[in-house]
Amino acid sequence: MPHRAYVIDEMISAKSIAARIEALASEIKTAFTGTEKLIVVGLLRGSFVFIADLVRELDMNVEVDFLEASSYGEAMESSREVRILKDLRGEIGGKDVLVVEDIVDTGFTLKHVVGLLMSRNPRRLETIALLDKPSRREVDIKASWTGFEIPDAFVVGYGIDFAQRNRNLPYIGKVRFTDDEPG
């Protein structure tokens, strides 16, 4: 699969992403008014660019932590079984937490992570996803904030990969296969 030929068609420009993040950060600051410290939890690896840009727009006291859940691997389809590969370094009990996800697709990953973190009794837990593909949802979950709703397409860039490639694109693009292989 990774050897199939494809091109990337731009879907969301770097400029649009930056503008949207500025607006989202302002909503988050308002929602967390009075919060002493916000623990911002990035889901590895896809959220690393998003979290970097988002925290720099949040002029409040933030702490950054990371969690890694199993993802597609080399495939383009969700495994529906979520495993925690790397847990948080810090405790979140009694704290205000914002979970940062790149894409909510079937919803299995976010649902699992929220369930896990809620069991640790944070004071408050909210979620933000840069992208949402609502037409693909299989479990009932919606992020507190969403950057962009997109159609059912396989996307890359801005931290998001296809078999570990294209994470470094500054924009979000749609993968379009140019070979004749079925699938």
The residues binding ligand IMP (CB under 6 A) are 46, 71-72, 78, 101-109, 154-155, 160
- Residue 125, classed as helix, strand or coil, is strand
How far, in Å, CA of 122 to CA of 105, rounded? 25
Q: Please identify, using beta-carbon distances, which residue of 35 and 127 lies nearer to ligand IMP.
A: 127
Residues in the chain: 183
- Cβ at position 51, least distance to ligand IMP in Å: 13
Q: Please identify, using beta-carbon distances, which residue of 8 and 155 lies nearer to ligand IMP.
A: 155
- Cβ at position 3, least distance to ligand IMP in Å: 17
Q: Please identify, using beta-carbon distances, which residue of 29 and 106 lies nearer to ligand IMP.
A: 106
How far, in Å, CA of 78 to CA of 45, rounded? 15
Q: Where are the alpha helices (DSSP H) in the chain?
A: 14-31, 48-57, 108-118
Q: Please identify, using beta-carbon distances, which residue of 35 and 109 lies nearer to ligand IMP.
A: 109
- DSSP E strands in 45-171: the ranges are 62-69, 84-86, 96-104, 124-132, 145-149, 155-156
- Cβ at position 111, least distance to ligand IMP in Å: 8
Question: What is the b/e burial string over 81-114, where b = at least 16 CB atoms within 10 angstroms of the residue's CB?
Answer: ebeeeeebeeebeebbbbbbbbbbbbbbbbbbbb
Catalytic residues: 105
- Cβ at position 66, least distance to ligand IMP in Å: 13
For 81, phi then psi, to 5°, come to -115, 120
